[in-house]
Structure 1
Amino acid sequence: MSVRYGLLALLERGPRYGYQLRSEFEQATGGTWPLNIGQVYTTLTRLERDELVRALPESDGGQRPYEVTEAGRAELARWFATPVEHGDRPRNELTIKLALAITTPGVDVRGMVQAQRTASMRMLQEYTRLRHGADSPADLAWRLVLDAMIFQAEGELRWLDHCEASLARFTPAPLAPAPAPDPEPSTPIPGGTR
């Protein structure tokens, strides 16, 4: 998710300063995507430059709140109305790792798949446990984030099953050692003995 649009969405609720934005963003996403405070202020500076937000006077505590402009509201409305595009071949570290492991001599690819399956199953169980604790209507945003994470973990487990089946189908079994050659039978040599 773009931090830019996340901050605009939070500012649509009313003026806020950087630490409030960071806290509310993390609360809305259940802490799934923590924000660095420097990233928040850098993004606010860009939004102000693009005239999507404006800085308000500092408070007595020295904090500078920001508010969304009409142009910012229009940009946010456009973002909400536009489907998310997933881009060209998104990078996935697990996919890259597996592709390289298959072509690297000496890597226990089946063991790697099993280790990942165990870790993914553990993540799925943790997400499911958290999901059961989010029962109030106020938790709806967090529940939907957890649902997305659960579906992704389930998809990863299905993909790992597919990888394991493909490995079994396309990876030749180790060859048994070749039998020792039979000793050469003795053949008589003409005119002599052997």
Structure 2
Amino acid sequence: MTQLVSITKFLAHAIRVSPATGFTRPFHVSLKNMVIAVGNKLPSVDLFEDTPANKINLAEYAAGKKIVIFAVPGAFTPGCSKTHLPGYIQKAPELKTKGFHDVFCIGVNDPFVMAAWGKEQGASGKVRMLADPTGAFTDALELSIELPVLGGKRSKRYSMVVEDGVVKELNVEPDNTGLSCSLADRLHS
């Protein structure tokens, strides 16, 4: 009987129900696969700025700094291009005066697309455009979403404030792609 109770407890911790689908799926506790939350450290995953040769690891970069990270479902998409990214570009000078070292935009796109989108939007010197081409960073946060109309795996729309590598504020859009809580003017920190 004791063995059966131990197995039941193990299974209760090893599986969880996905709120999106209602299906169960394995739950792995590690820095490579976690549901990011306030108080968690950023996962150590390489992202790319401008080219595949220019790697940036936000977990390492954020050491001793206060940064803003926001993610978009896709570069050049209407909501991202008309509202989300422009809001952070406009607010970047104010964020710098509040002690933020950098503002990063992450998209599950290749680095050339993110660089071109940033150039088209006038992000240079205001918002740093980072590519997560395979979705590895997004998956490590467990903030990926399947959007077949945009090509498959993408990022949920979110924003976060990170201090010294630790998440201090996290705003994930309730419907994963909308434009409400993750906008630049909604940051509390």
Give the alignment's TM-score, normalised by structure 1: 0.20
Structure in which a larger fraction of residues adopt helix: 1
Q: Greater share of strand residues, 1 or 2?
A: 2
With normalisation by structure 2, the TM-score equals 0.20
Q: Between Structure 1 and Structure 2, whose CA radius of gyration is higher? A: 1
